[in-house]
Chains A and B, each alone.
Chain A
Amino acid sequence: MLRKLALGGIRSRLRDYTVLFSGLVIASAVFYMFLALATNKTFLTSNSPLSMTTFIFMFGEVLLAIITLVYIVYANSFLMSMRQRDYAMFMMLGAKSSKIAQLIFVETVTVGVLATAVGTLLGIGLTTAAGHVLLGMLHSSAPGFSPLWWPAVLWTFVFFVVLFILAALFNARSLIKTKILTLLHAAQTPNRLRTKPVLLLIQALLGIGLLAIGYWAMAAVNKLGLSGIGLALVTIVLGSYFMFNATLVFLVGLLKKNKRFASRQLHTFTLSQLSFRIRDYTKILAVVSILFALALGAITVGLGFQRAIPQIAKAQDAYDLVQVAPTAKEKADANKLSGLKAKVVYTQKADGTNIYFKASELNAHPLEFPVFRSLGQSSIEKVTATNFKTKVAENSSNMTEFMRPVDSGKSFTVVSDARFAALAGQPYQVITYQVADFSANYDRIEALVKTQDKRLGFKPDSMTNGQKFGTYALITSMYGGLAFMGFFLGIAFLAMLASTLMFKILSGANYDKQRYLMLQKIGVRPALLRKSIAEEIGALFLFPGLLGVIHVLFGLQLFKALLADPYDGLWLPFTIFLVLYGLYYALTTWLYQSIVITKDLGGRR
């Protein structure tokens, strides 16, 4: 009978259970995704030039474990808030408390294990899909990467099941210890705020101080080494928490004191909702700001590495493709390159010792030699007939791609047009191509280079042809793995972020339903209610977002050693991320509005 009642309880609150369950599924899926990289030592060591990477991932594991712990604590209290009334009712009907304890334990563990199982499967699926898509995008392979990674499966299960068993024990204990009447009326708890301004000030200062230490540690990671990352981790997590606790409560209080603002429309109500919310939500908001920073940071760094690949390749070779004595078909294919910026045709002749350029052609279109400045930064040197000899002597490797294997060992010489015409031998064309986006033309350039190598007699897959393609592939193999990690973790953290905030907001919707019904009954326009909800949820999204952006701006300091300029082109990842975040805000608001604003005011179902 009791079992039947328990099941009936679940059925009647299916939507709440859906929110709870999907939240837990995402949490375990993301946990798995992260572990699939973090516990795969082969993958980590063969994809990162840094020996620190393994340790950085270990810190990541700790951080994610903390985040998941907070998440599960919230999920658990949500589960309890749904169930305690039912359980109290069973007790009133005469169920023994030992029986109830047993029931709670079974229910919590069942929900947990099921969610973990589904989540792990989802995690494997997401890992496969994300791995496939990202590696295709990056033209890279990530050696050792395996979507189905058993140690990750094992650890995800161990971690979640242990947590749920602990949660179940805690639930059973606390339910039995509480009085039945308290349980029945748990929703009507008094909530007057008592905040001491001094305490707020101390918390604010502590928050700012901790954040400052964390930001400094990230900037000084070269000096501090690994301990710097550990220090940043602890201080930023705690700093975010205190910031939210102090600053937001203070800010809302300030707005509430501004009577002109507060006494209009629903402002008082919205602010009151927020001030209760923020206290209740501080931990979640701190977690969200960290997740926001991790997701945005990972995507930014991933994009940074991806952008570094063509930059570094460009610093090695100014030409994206050089065709030597191409056939008509090869020329036609090369004309299909997209975003062609420059194409120059030179005429060459070769004899027993020399390869000849025409002076007029070089003067009209000087050759471009890249000059290395710093990591990923280069400038272009123009090479005309006048300085040809010295420049080529300085950096002969730049000319490799202008030479056929049959001509190897010969030297380049510039001659006048008259002299060129008088030379023996067949003239042939050498065409240089520069495109806007190498990556977009990757497949076509690869095909053209392969055809040419075969025709000219280069060994397949060697880099002796001097083409940019080979350099590009080499750099991709070094940086692609890092870019992959960035994007992959960015997606994982974004999913976790979405699920955390949405879960917390929607799990509170039931308590709020009553309030919005009252407001509608006393004649508040539905549009005004919608606005109030949008503002309230907007604040809950905005503040962690702002703090998250600041975290990222400082966090990018960590990558100074690896990227020429980690701050270069920030607008792109920021725009992508903010658009996603905005969409996700709109979705949460819409869901929330559809739960709490009802058309049926009479109260009949």
Chain B
Amino acid sequence: MAQPVVSVKNVTKTYGKNNEKQTQALRGVTFDVTPGEFVEIMGASGSGKTTLLNILSTLDQATTGDVHINGEDVTGLKGDALADFRAKQVGFIFQDFNLLENLTARENIALPLALQNAPHKKQQQAVDAIAQTLGIAAVLDHYPTELSGGQKQRVAAARALVQQPAILFGDEPTGALDSQSARELLDTMADLNRDQHVSILLVTHDAFSASYAKRILFIKDGQIGQELVRGEESQEDFYHRILTTVGTFQQ
């Protein structure tokens, strides 16, 4: 079996200092993501899923436990090394897009390449290619405020993918989108996963969004409680199975 792109072992996260009131957001989480997988982590608000994602994407540090991304131990990274790791290995899309509203879509997408001092021509080629894939070639010279929510999230996805990261993380990427745009974005993600073998890990509390994944991890009170694998099932059947599981899992 190939080396996992994400490997999480016994990760815990405790907020609050020793002398304060402590809350344990994660209580020993362990799982792997293999290259080319599409995994979703499902859980209710406060289940610890965003904390987990922040730790995976190196925005936050685990209290104890190991996190390996693409074979590299990220728990020990600091400063510039950490920033560079995030720039090169990790793509991230956020619920609220996190686009820079003073840059055009093109400039937003090119930013990670500019940071690596890639030649201007190469930057533009890469931007055009990824924009083509994500269907935003026509709006590249618009500012984020001139785009729809779906377009904004595609621009954000393009920015996350332009560097060809080891994995794409998403924190409820469809959370701020209407159902049509959400469906289109998820279709695109599934395509990317299938055709270009992009590894994807999303967190969500929405069963429909989760039904796009190949595997679903359910998180509750900071622990992984259950796992669903889609296999050869149709998306609709899988969706119903997720709904049933959510119903029982939450009780």
B-binding residues in A (CB < 8 A) = 188-192, 259-260, 262-269, 272-273, 276, 515, 518-528, 601-604
CA distance A191 to B145 in the complex (A): 8
- B36 contacts partner chain A, Cβ-Cβ < 8 Å: no
Interface pair B145/A190, CB less than 8 Å apart: yes
* B residues 58-90 in Cβ contact with A at 8 Å: 59-60, 79-80, 83-88, 90
Chain B: interface secondary structure? helix
A518-B99 Cα distance, complex, nearest whole Å: 7
A170 to B95, CA, bound (A): 37
A604, closest chain B residue (CB): B15
The distance in angstroms between the C-alpha atoms of A314 and B85, with both chains bound, is 70
| Chain A nearest CB, measured from B109 CB (Å) | 11
A521 interface neighbour in B51, B92, B107, B110, Cβ under 8 Å: B92
CA distance A527 to B81 in the complex (A): 12
Are B59 and A601 in contact, with the CB atoms below 8 A? yes
Distance from B133 Cβ to chain A, minimum over Cβ atoms (Å): 19
Q: Does B17 sit within 8 A of A, measured CB to CB?
A: no
Please tell me if B100 contacts chain A, counting CB pairs below 8 Å.
yes
B-side contacts of A273, CB under 8 Å: 102
Q: Is the CB of A191 within 8 A of B88?
A: no
With a cutoff of 8 Å between Cβ atoms, the chain B residues found around residue A259 in the complex are 120
CA distance A525 to B60 in the complex (A): 16
Fill in one digit per residue for B83-126: 1 if any A CB lies within 8 Å of its CB, else 0: 11111101010100011111100010011101101111001000
The answer to whether residues A192 and B114 also contact, given A525-B80, A526-B83 and a CB cut-off of 8 A, is no
Question: B27-54: contact bitstring with A at CB < 8 Å (1 yes, 0 no)?
Answer: 0000000000000000000000001001
Would A191 and B101 count as touching, CB distance under 8 A? Answer: yes
B143: contacting residue among A191, A269, A528, CB under 8 A: A191
- What residues of B have a CB within 8 angstroms of the CB of A263 in the complex? 110, 114, 118-120, 123
Given contacts A192-B146, A263-B114, A272-B103, contact A523 B83 (CB under 8 A): yes
* Distance between A189 CB and nearest chain B CB, rounded to angstroms: 8
- In chain B, what residue has the closest Cβ to A522? B112
| Inter-subunit contact A520/B111 (CB<8 Å) | no
Q: How many A-B residue pairs have CB under 8 A?
A: 101
* A-B pairs with beta carbons under 8 Å apart, 15 shown: A191-B101, A192-B146, A263-B120, A264-B114, A265-B115, A268-B107, A268-B111, A269-B103, A273-B102, A518-B100, A521-B59, A522-B92, A523-B84, A525-B84, A527-B80
Q: How far is the CA of A292 from the CA of B87 in the complex (A)?
A: 42
Asked if A528 contacts B146 (CB within 8 A), the reply is: no
What's the nearest-Cβ distance from chain B to residue A256, in Å?
A: 9
Q: CA–CA, A145 to B107, complex, Å?
A: 59
Give the residues from 224 to 240 in chain B that come closer than 8 angstroms, CB to CB, to chain A.
Answer: none
A141 to chain B, nearest CB (A): 56
**Chain A minimum-CB-distance residue to B57:** A521
Closest 9 CB pairs of A and B: A523-B87, A523-B86, A602-B60, A190-B145, A263-B120, A601-B59, A525-B83, A602-B54, A272-B102
Chain B residue nearest to A192 (CB atoms) is: B143
In the complex, which residues of chain A have a beta carbon less than 8 angstroms from the beta carbon of B111?
Answer: 266, 268-269, 519, 522
- The CA-CA distance from A525 to B88 in the complex, in Å, is 12
Q: Quick one: given A602-B59, A604-B15, are A528 and B107 in contact (CB under 8 Å)? A: no
A259 to B146, CA, bound (A): 24
Instruction: List A contacts of B220 (CB < 8 A).
Output: none
Tell me the bound Cα distance from A511 to B203 in angstroms.
Answer: 28
Give the Cβ gap from A82 to chain B, nearest Cβ, in Å: 20
User: B154: which A residues are within 8 A, CB to CB?
Assistant: none
A260-B120, A523-B87, A526-B83 known; A267 and B114 CB under 8 Å? yes
Residues of A within 8 A of B80 (CB): 525-527
Known A191-B102, A263-B123, A273-B102: A523·B115 in contact at CB below 8 Å: yes
Nearest-Cβ distance from residue B76 to partner chain A, whole angstroms: 17
Chain B residues with CB under 8 Å of A269's CB are 100, 102-103, 107, 111
- Residue interface mask B131-149, A partner, CB < 8 A = 1: 0000000000001011000
Q: Which residues of B contact A267 (CB under 8 A)?
A: 114
Instruction: Using A276-B102, A601-B60 as known contacts, say yes or no to A523 and B107 having CB atoms under 8 A apart.
Output: no
Which chain B residues in 145-176 approach chain A with CB under 8 Å?
145-146, 159-160
Q: How far is the CB of B82 from chain A (nearest CB, A)?
A: 8
CA distance A515 to B119 in the complex (A): 24
B83 touches A520 (CB 8 A): yes
How distant is the Cα of A190 from the Cα of B102 in the complex, in angstroms?
A: 9
Give the CA-CA distance A276 to B115 in the complex, in Å. Answer: 21
Given contacts A266-B111, A273-B102, 7 further A-B contacts (CB under 8 A): A188-B101, A265-B115, A269-B100, A523-B90, A601-B60, A602-B54, A602-B59
From B122, which residue of chain A is reached at the shortest CB distance? A263
A603 surroundings in chain B (CB, below 8 A): 54, 59
CB closest residue in chain B, given A268: B107
CA gap between A265 and B107 in the complex, in Å: 12
Using CB atoms, name the residue of chain B closest to A187.
B101
Residues of A near B94 (CB, < 8 A) are: 521
Most chain A CB within 10 A, of B83, B86, B145, is at B83
Provided the pairs A269-B103, A521-B59, A601-B60 are in contact, do residues A190 and B143 lie with their beta carbons within 8 angstroms? Answer: yes
Find out whether the CB atom of B87 lies under 8 angstroms from the CB atom of A524: yes
Residues of A contacting B86 with CB < 8 Å? 521-523
- Across the interface, do A519 and B88 meet the contact criterion of CB distance under 8 Å? no
Q: Which of B54, B99, B111, B145 lies at the interface centre, i.e. has the most chain A CB atoms within 10 A of its CB? A: B111
Q: A264 near B83 (CB under 8 angstroms)?
A: no
Query: Please, which residues of chain A bring their CB within 8 A of the CB of B85?
Result: 523
Measured CB to CB, the nearest residue on chain B to A258 is B120
Q: How far is the CA of A383 from the CA of B23 in the complex (A)?
A: 94
CB distance from B42 to the nearest CB of A (A): 20
Bound CA–CA A249/B145 (angstroms)? 21
Smallest Cβ-Cβ distance to B123: which chain A residue: A263
Of chain B, the residue at the smallest CB distance from A517 is B98
B79 nearest CB across to chain A (Å): 7
* Residue pair B112, A523 in contact (C-beta under 8 Å): yes
Residues on A with C-beta less than 8 A from B145 are: 188-192
Chain A contacts for B88, CB-based, 8 A: 523
Q: Tell me which residues across on chain A come within 8 A of B100, comparing CB atoms.
A: 269, 272, 515, 518-519
Q: How far is the CB of B143 from chain A (nearest CB, A)?
A: 5
Most buried by B among A190, A267, A269, A273: A269
A99 to B62, CA, bound (A): 49
Question: B99 — which chain A residues lie within 8 A by C-beta?
Answer: 518
For B102, the closest partner residue in chain A by CB is A272
Distance of A535 from chain B, by nearest CB (Å): 15
Nearest Cβ distance between residue B165 and chain A, in whole angstroms? 10
| CB contact under 8 A between A266 and B107, given known A191-B102, A523-B90, A525-B83 | no
* The one of B90, B102, B110 that contacts A515, using a Cβ cutoff of 8 Å: B102
Q: Is the CB of B87 within 8 A of A522?
A: yes
In the complex, the answer to whether A266 meets B114 with C-beta atoms within 8 Å is yes
Q: Which residues of B contact A515 (CB under 8 A)?
A: 100-102
The residue on A at minimum CB distance from B119 is: A263
A518 and B111 alpha carbons, distance in the complex (Å): 12
Determine the residue in chain B with the shortest Cβ distance to A267.
Answer: B114
Chain B, 207-244, contact with A by CB distance < 8 Å: what is the 0/1 string? 00000000000000000000000000000000000000
A35 vs B84: C-alpha distance when bound (angstroms): 56
